[in-house]
């Protein structure tokens, strides 16, 4: 039912308006040309948070005193720009959207979409003016939430207007990914920019975008500000939170993955070259079925098999291990610790020759498969030489009465070699003094012979002791004479 404040003599003229307005879901505020508010339907009152038409202010001026209006970007409107004054001034306001709140409040309570209606009874000057209101608060709240989410979302995204394929928004994530400025993108055509390329089926994807269809995840090349392109995964989704039909395009950066794959491929190529060219025998065995998957040339040379003949064969089929039990123990140790180093193993070549090897192995993964990298070093000849030398020494030591003690000691040291000692570097003066020490001269004699002070001699002797690892003069004499120093030699 229309709530009216019109004089009684005008009520009959409003009856047809009451009937018209009562059933409307939109709000209607009825004015006379002088600015007096004649009535308002319940929807209009609810849209202003009041119960009576008097609460609207009675006149256009009263309305402006009681309510504050802003534009959609929350800029305060001057009174003369209020829809009610524009209507009184004879201006048309098709679908103007304003924010509305009671006077004194800083935040909008409602969003009104406003249009004007002019009515006359006799065909002359307008008898009544009307403002028709639609409450679009929910729509604008949803859009505000979407805008906030869109801006804050770290995933790169753009919004493309459906009717002309122009970009209307780009979030921070997209700008950071492409290094574009917002002004470089907004208002420009998606296809005019050639923003997306490298599609598996460009025509189909372009058609889906133009028709506003859902676009499933697709790999593409995305243009960036410097003119290069980045590999991305993008998808499209129609959205209806904006005032126009639009498409939301989101992107995931795959360039780091591409760079990593390229680096990995380069590393694998490098490692493959090292593997193939290594002078020691190397082979990769898949753990699950014990099949040889990669074998280098040195491994084929060691085992006597023809190049390429061992790939995809099992270790058992090849008959590689001389002692399967020992190989089983090594496999168990590998499973527990992941690696072995310099382990004695014996393998069997294609011709049946048993070869002694030092074996090292490491558990690795190749393309997701658990594998073991084996490195084998042939030590058969070295061990044979060691055995022959040991046998010769043992034979000599059986009857050594004709050998001097020093020769026996040296033979024994060959049989049981002493730990390696780092070489000693003596200065020319130190060698000169050690020569005289080995000739049994004391410090005074050495000082007189070399025309230096006894303190200088003592300092050099102390340095010699430190370098050769002794603290006695006799030890220095033995050390020097073993190295051919002094005039008294064995």
Lowest mean pLDDT among 142-146, 452-456, 463-467, 477-481: 142-146
User: What is the band of 110 on the pLDDT scale with cuts at 50, 70, 90?
Assistant: very high
Question: What proportion of the chain, given as a percentage, has pLDDT over 90?
Answer: 43
CA distance 241 to 140: 8
Which three-class secondary structure state does DSSP give residue 421?
coil
* Contact (Cβ atoms closer than 8 angstroms) between residue 292 and residue 318: yes
pLDDT single digits (tens) 147-165: 777 877 778 999 999 889 9
Q: Beta strands 246-253 and 229-239: pairing type?
A: antiparallel
More confident residue, 212 or 11: 212
CA distance 394 to 412: 9
* Contact (Cβ atoms closer than 8 angstroms) between residue 223 and residue 194: yes
Mean pLDDT of 133-153: 78
| pLDDT score recorded for residue 81 | 94
| pLDDT score recorded for residue 16 | 55
Considering all CA atoms of the chain, what is the largest pairwise distance in Å, rounded to the nearest integer? 156
User: What is the band of 445 on the pLDDT scale with cuts at 50, 70, 90?
Assistant: very high
* Contact (Cβ atoms closer than 8 angstroms) between residue 331 and residue 310: no
Mean pLDDT of 114-124: 76
pLDDT single digits (tens) 227-274: 999 999 999 999 875 567 889 999 999 998 888 888 888 887 888 888
What totals of helices (H) and strands (E) does the chain contain, helices first? 18, 18
Mean pLDDT of 121-127: 68
More confident residue, 2 or 349: 349
CA distance 471 to 231: 73
* Phi and psi, residue 284, nearest 5°: -115, 125
| pLDDT score recorded for residue 8 | 47
**Could you tell me which of 319, 331, 382, 375 has the C-alpha nearest to residue 356?**
382
User: What is the band of 166 on the pLDDT scale with cuts at 50, 70, 90?
Assistant: very high
Q: Of 15-24, 35-44, 118-127, 359-368, where does the model show the most confidence?
A: 35-44
């Amino acid at each position: 039912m229309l709530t009216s404040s019109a004089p009684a003599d005008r009520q009959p003229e409003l009856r047809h308006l009451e009937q018209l307005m009562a059933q409307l879901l939109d709000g209607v505020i009825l004015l006379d040309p002088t600015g007096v508010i004649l009535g308002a339907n319940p929807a209009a009152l609810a849209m202003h948070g009041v119960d009576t038409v008097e609460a609207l202010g009675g006149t256009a001026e009263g309305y402006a005193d009681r309510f504050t209006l802003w534009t959609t970007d929350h800029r305060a409107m001057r009174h003369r720009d209020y829809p009610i004054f524009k209507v009184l001034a004879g201006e048309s306001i098709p679908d103007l959207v304003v924010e509305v709140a009671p006077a004194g409040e800083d935040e909008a309570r409602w969003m009104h979409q406003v249009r004007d209606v002019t009515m006359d009874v006799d065909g002359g000057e307008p008898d009544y003016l009307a403002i028709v209101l639609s409450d679009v608060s929910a729509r604008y709240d949803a859009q505000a939430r979407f805008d906030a989410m869109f801006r804050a979302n770290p995933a790169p995204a753009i919004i493309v207007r459906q009717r002309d394929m122009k970009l209307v928004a780009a979030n921070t994530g997209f700008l950071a990914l492409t290094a574009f400025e917002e002004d470089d993108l907004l208002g420009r055509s998606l296809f005019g920019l050639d923003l997306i390329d490298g599609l598996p089926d460009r025509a189909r994807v372009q058609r889906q975008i133009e028709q506003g269809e859902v676009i499933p995840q697709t790999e593409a090349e995305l243009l960036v500000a410097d003119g290069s392109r980045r590999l991305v995964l993008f998808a499209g989704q129609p959205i209806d939170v904006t005032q126009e039909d639009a498409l939301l395009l989101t992107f995931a950066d795959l360039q780091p993955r591409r760079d990593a794959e390229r680096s990995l491929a380069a590393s694998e190529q490098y490692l493959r070259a090292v593997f193939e060219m290594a002078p020691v025998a190397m082979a990769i065995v898949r753990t699950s079925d014990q099949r040889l998957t990669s074998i280098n040339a040195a491994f084929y040379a060691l085992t006597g098999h023809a190049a390429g003949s061992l790939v995809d064969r099992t270790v058992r089929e090849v008959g590689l291990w001389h002692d399967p039990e020992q190989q089983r123990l090594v496999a168990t140790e590998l499973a527990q610790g992941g690696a072995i180093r310099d382990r004695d193993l014996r393998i069997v070549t294609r011709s049946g020759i048993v070869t002694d090897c030092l074996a090292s192995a490491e558990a690795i993964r190749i393309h997701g498969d658990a594998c073991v990298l084996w490195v084998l070093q042939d030590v058969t000849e070295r061990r044979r030489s060691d055995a022959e030398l040991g046998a010769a020494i043992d034979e000599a030591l059986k009857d050594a009465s004709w050998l001097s003690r020093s020769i026996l000691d040296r033979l024994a040291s060959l049989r049981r070699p002493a730990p390696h000692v780092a070489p000693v570097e003596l200065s020319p003066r130190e060698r000169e003094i050690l020569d005289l020490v080995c000739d049994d001269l004391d410090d005074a004699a050495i000082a007189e012979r070399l025309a230096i002070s006894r303190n200088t001699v003592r300092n050099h002797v102390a340095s010699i002791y430190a370098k050769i690892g002794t603290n006695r003069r006799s030890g220095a004499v033995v050390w020097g004479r073993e190295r051919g120093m002094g005039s008294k030699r064995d």
